[in-house]
Amino acid sequence: MSEVKVDTISERTAAGGVTIDGVLVKDGVATFQTAAGSPLVFEGATPDAFETTFAITDPTADRTITFPDASFTVPSSGFDSIALLSTQTASTSASVNFDNTLLTSDYKVYEFKYMNVVGSTDGVQLQMKFSDDNGSNFDANHTGGFFTSYTGASGTGLVYDAVNDSVQEAFQKLGTDQSWDAGDSMGGRVTIQNPSSTSFITTYQGEASYISHHATIYQYTTYIGGLWDSLAAVNYVRFEMASGNLVTGTFQLWGYK
């Protein structure tokens, strides 16, 4: 075995760098260039048949991972327990849809977050639909309650109006009587439990806030809770206005293991 002992290895030219078996050292920066994508292998304290390997996915753009100025232990699990799975933006769209490539058995809980939602028509509610055949049909299986609090110059209150409940409907209302005047919008979230289960019905809860479509302006906060009364696995979720288009709106899907 050959052995070379030196104190310093310097670049031959300022622009050339030094390459050592796939490692480029240039201007004090080491770049590991390997086709395998696993350029870092650590033996550990004991030289044996076991090593720790850092595997690098082939990047499609420059990436930066920053370590904090602190001592910490890397957890052995949990890195993928919460994930942002999709972000979709409405732009005069008939609906925003999340299909069976996103709603799978990989996550037990899914959360939809929506913001800056504006419809094309005043006084029309945002609603959510489920499908078990990837959007081909939206069966009338939604049963849920709907409760609203309001605050405005003319007073405050709590409202339960059964007309907004869903009883074996093809949709669940997420708000009612929203204003889509200039500057007004709606935001909220819906959490869905275990939609891929075929042993239990799928349950969901949510809340939203928005401005009411009335001569007297009120801030509405809506709370919903319901279920999709079927043992079929939900694999498609649609957001749409009861009539008209979604002029704007950002919708995110998060997964929780």
Q: Answer yes or no: is 98 within a domain.
A: yes
Q: Answer yes or no: is 210 within a domain.
A: yes
- Do both 200 and 102 map to the same domain? yes
- Do both 119 and 158 map to the same domain? yes
| Cβ-based burial of 128 (10 A; exposed 0-12, middle 13-18, buried ≥19) | buried
Which domain range does residue 222 map to?
84-256
pLDDT in tens, 122-137: 889 999 999 999 999 9
Q: Answer yes or no: is 1 within a domain.
A: no
CATH number at residue 188: 2.60.120
- Do both 190 and 252 map to the same domain? yes
Q: Answer yes or no: is 48 within a domain.
A: yes
- Do both 193 and 236 map to the same domain? yes
Q: Answer yes or no: is 238 within a domain.
A: yes
In the DSSP assignment, the letter for residue 161 is -
Residue located via tokens 């275990």: 194
- Do both 207 and 246 map to the same domain? yes
- What's the structural domain count of the chain? 2
134: left (phi over 0), alpha (psi -120 to 50) or beta: left
- Do both 171 and 47 map to the same domain? no
Q: Answer yes or no: is 6 within a domain.
A: no
- Do both 151 and 242 map to the same domain? yes
Q: Of 54, 69, 102, which one is at a domain's C-terminal end?
A: 54
Query: Which residues, in sequence order, are CB contacts of 184 under 8 Å at separation 6+?
Result: 118, 178, 210, 211
Residue 39, pLDDT score: 66
CB burial string 9-32: b at 16+ within 10 A, e below: eeeeeeeebeeeeeeeeeeeeeee
Residue 9, pLDDT score: 66
- Do both 137 and 26 map to the same domain? no
Residue 219, pLDDT score: 93
Q: Answer yes or no: is 2 within a domain.
A: no
- Do both 25 and 133 map to the same domain? no
Q: Answer yes or no: is 68 within a domain.
A: no
Q: Are 205 and 191 in contact (CB under 8 A)?
A: yes
pTM greater than 0.85: no
- Do both 212 and 156 map to the same domain? yes
Residue 14, pLDDT score: 60
The pLDDT confidence band at residue 88, using thresholds 50, 70 and 90, is very high
Helix, strand, coil proportions of the chain in percent (round to 5)? Answer: 0, 45, 50
The pLDDT confidence band at residue 139, using thresholds 50, 70 and 90, is very high
- Do both 45 and 96 map to the same domain? no
pLDDT in tens, 21-72: 666 767 666 676 665 666 677 777 888 888 787 777 778 888 888 888 888 7
- Do both 45 and 103 map to the same domain? no
Residue 10, pLDDT score: 67
The share of the chain scoring above pLDDT 90, in percent, equals 54
